[in-house]
Amino acid sequence: MKQAAGGRDQGSGARPRILIADDEPSLREITRQLFTKNGFDVVVAEDGLVAREIIGREFLDLVLTDIRMPRLDGVGLLRAVREMAPDVTVVMMTAHGTQDSAEWQQARELGARALIEKPFRNEDVLLQVRQLLESRRLRHENVVLRHTTAEQQFAGIIGRSPIMLEVFKLVETVCRTNSTVLIFGESGTGKELVARAIHDQSLRSTRPFVAVNCGAMPETLLESELFGHVRGAFTGADKDKKGLIETAEGGTVFLDEIGEMPAAMQVKLLRVLQERKYRRVGGTDEASCNIRVTAATNRDLPKQVGEGKFREDLFYRLNVIPVKMPPLRERVEDIPLTAEHFVAKYNREMNKAISGFTAEAMAALRAYPWPGNVRELENTVERSVALESGPSIGVSTLPQHLRDRRPATTRPGDSIADTGQGFNLERHLQDIERAHLERALERASGVQTRAADLLGLSFRQFRYLVRKHGLKRE
Ligand SMILES: Nc1ncnc2c1ncn2[C@@H]1O[C@H](COP(=O)(O)OP(=O)(O)OP(=O)(O)O)[C@@H](O)[C@H]1O
Ligand SMILES: [Mg+2]
């Protein structure tokens, strides 16, 4: 069963996909078998035009093409690849030439990576293709890494921690395939952002990206949203309606909160994934679709499978490539650059010129566990940019629950600890504490219970601190 194949792909991305174009049937068949047996996904074409059509439609890693072919020759095909899918590696094959033939010279100028002379030994071709794919993979990794370290982001996803670099690499790999991707992660970790990035970086990017929230609507509505309905299918269905799958034709359907999908819909979705077929609500005809499916969940889906709440077969179909989005608290080192990214964003939106955060404010951001992850951070920054009247966001502008979390001592990397000689940290923290108490008392017009509330302290704690700093004024 295909399901098992899905399981094997985990983590490492999809199997390499190659196209073999040759007008000689026996050669096509032998090479097809050779590569299939060795773990490749193989597509074949009997001439250049058929090959060109496949290249326009499918995601490929490498094209192995004969030079002399009817209708469109290998060099013509190579030109088409450069135009339509410049990223694809091309290898030429010929029975009529050598490394110094004019055709090969031309092909090499157009970017062909190797020439294989027929007849060839299976091991040689296999080795050469593997080496080319490996160097291509490394090249890609370098692109991602360079990009990320320079810009601290990848396709709009901010992050530079090792755990995020892994995510970027995976996204980069999967966007060149058609595989189904399942994105796991807590709320606000960027699951939808990643789904969009996968679409935007893929060859489907010129086609629609359609997001459907499977948890937001009742079963019958979800079915007609996805599949569409025919006139008279139910009360109120006064005309035919296109489903989102049809709207997304050629593009990507993102099924958000897939863990909430009702059982009956799970069966129907399985059919879409297996056969790319579905039926409109109230309709009799089968419709076919060409869509890529990505899905996301913040639930423990394997557990739901174990409890019989989610179909196992559907889980395996969806989980061809799992992407796990880490919670923000597991990549604290990304907090400063992410927060600063949002400051820049809201400066632009609100026409302000906040320069960033004070050291104390940044320490508070780093110390807070961010249960709502990047979404919560973004909301916090937005609010702070709006409220801040000074040049940079100070700790007093941050919401109460963040200020309470401020660590009593600093941690490595906190700029507050880097201030060099003569700096008395304990004294500095005392000053901050005192300033806080004063401000709270001022805002509460001297009413201590209110000031304690503002700071999220019990009255006893508050009284203790007030006494300690000698602020008491009855
Ligand atoms: N790494 C990141 N860099 C920049 N922005 C991010 C990042 N992660 C998330 N965001 C932003 O945070 C917000 C929430 O992200 P998103 O909607 O993708 O989360 P989610 O995982 O789908 O959450 P939920 O499970 O609640 O639907 C969005 O505005 C998104 O742009
Ligand atoms: Mg989401």
Helix (H, G, I), strand (E, B) or coil at 438: helix
Q: Which atom of ligand 1 is nearest to the CA of 164?
A: 1
What pLDDT sits at residue 419?
Answer: 34
The pLDDT tens digits for 78-117 are 998 887 777 789 999 998 877 778 888 899 988 899 999 9
Other Cβ atoms within 10 Å of 444 Cβ, number: 16
What pLDDT sits at residue 370?
Answer: 94
What pLDDT sits at residue 56?
Answer: 75
What is the CATH classification number for the domain harbouring 464? 1.10.10.60
CA within 13 Å, CB half, 440: 25
In a domain, 222, yes or no: yes
- Cα(375) to centroid of ligand 1, in Å? 6
Instruction: Please list the ranges in the chain whose pLDDT falls under 70.
Output: 1-14, 143-151, 405-429, 472-474
In a domain, 111, yes or no: yes
Same domain, 62 and 195: no
In a domain, 148, yes or no: no
In a domain, 461, yes or no: yes
Burial 268-305 (b: 16+ CB within 10 A, else e): bbbebbeeeebbbbbbeeebebebbbbbbbbeebeebb
> Which one of 299, 324, 349 terminates a domain?
324
Same domain, 211 and 287: yes
Distance CA 173, CA 139 (A): 12
Closest CA relative to residue 58, chosen from 179, 200, 178: 178
- Cα(318) to centroid of ligand 1, in Å? 21
What pLDDT sits at residue 405?
Answer: 61
Helix (H, G, I), strand (E, B) or coil at 196: helix
Written as six digits, the tokens of 390 are 């000074």
Same domain, 289 and 335: no
- Cα(342) to centroid of ligand 2, in Å? 19
In a domain, 24, yes or no: yes
Q: Which atom of ligand 1 is nearest to the CA of 298?
A: 25
In a domain, 447, yes or no: yes
The pLDDT tens digits for 44-83 are 999 999 999 888 777 788 999 999 999 999 999 999 888 7
Please name the helix (run of DSSP H) or strand (run of DSSP E) that holds residue 441, with its range, or none. helix 425-443
pTM of the model: 0.63
Q: Which atom of ligand 1 is nearest to the CA of 158?
A: 3
Same domain, 319 and 207: yes
DSSP class per residue in 220-277: HHHHHHHHEE-TTSSTT--S-EE-HHHHTTTSEEEEETGGG--HHHHHHHHHHHHHSE
- Cα(262) to centroid of ligand 1, in Å? 25
Distance CA 237, CA 231 (A): 5
Same domain, 226 and 357: no
- Cα(13) to centroid of ligand 2, in Å? 23
Same domain, 216 and 302: yes
Helix (H, G, I), strand (E, B) or coil at 64: strand
* Alpha carbon separation from 379 to 83, 192, 354 (Å, rounded): 42, 17, 16
> Which one of 295, 324, 353 terminates a domain?
324
Ligand closest to 194 (CA) is: 1
How far the first Cα of the chain sits from its last, in Å, is 80
Ligand 1 atom 27: residue of nearest CA: 187
Ligand 1 atom 25: residue of nearest CA: 187
Q: Domain residues for 239? A: 153-324
Please list every protein residue whose CB sits less than 6 Å from any atom of ligand 1: 157-159, 185, 187-193, 296, 298, 338, 374-375, 378
> Which one of 384, 399, 418 terminates a domain?
418
Q: Which atom of ligand 1 is nearest to the CA of 191?
A: 21
Other Cβ atoms within 10 Å of 120 Cβ, number: 15
Same domain, 291 and 204: yes
Q: Which atom of ligand 1 is nearest to the CA of 159?
A: 1
DSSP annotation of 72: S
Other Cβ atoms within 10 Å of 247 Cβ, number: 14
What is the CATH classification number for the domain harbouring 88? 3.40.50.2300
What pLDDT sits at residue 228?
Answer: 95
Q: Where are the beta strands (DSSP E) in 300-379?
A: 321-324
List residues bridging with 64 in a β-sheet. 20, 91
Same domain, 340 and 462: no
Which amino acid appears at position 444 of this protein? Answer: A
Helix (H, G, I), strand (E, B) or coil at 456: coil
Characterize the bridge pairing of strands 241-242 and 89-94: unpaired
Same domain, 318 and 334: no
Same domain, 293 and 219: yes
Q: Give, as residue ranges, everything with CB less than 5 Å from ion ligand 2.
A: 192
Contact (Cβ atoms closer than 8 angstroms) between residue 405 and residue 360 = no
What pLDDT sits at residue 7?
Answer: 31
Contact (Cβ atoms closer than 8 angstroms) between residue 31 and residue 40 = no
- Cα(188) to centroid of ligand 2, in Å? 7
What is the CATH classification number for the domain harbouring 237? 3.40.50.300
Same domain, 123 and 231: no
Instruction: Give the number of domains in the chain.
Output: 4
In a domain, 2, yes or no: no
Other Cβ atoms within 10 Å of 99 Cβ, number: 9
With the most atoms of ligand 1 within 8 angstroms of its CB, the residue from 165, 189, 193, 378 to mutate is 193
Contact (Cβ atoms closer than 8 angstroms) between residue 63 and residue 72 = no
- Cα(445) to centroid of ligand 2, in Å? 43
For residue 414, report the phi and psi dihedrals to the nearest 5 degrees. -70, 125
Which residues, including other chains, have CB under 8 Å from residue 23's CB and lie 6 or more apart? 46, 47, 66, 68, 69, 70
Written as six digits, the tokens of 395 are 């700790």
In a domain, 3, yes or no: no
With the most atoms of ligand 1 within 8 angstroms of its CB, the residue from 151, 154, 189 to mutate is 189
Distance CA 40, CA 336 (A): 42
Same domain, 185 and 283: yes
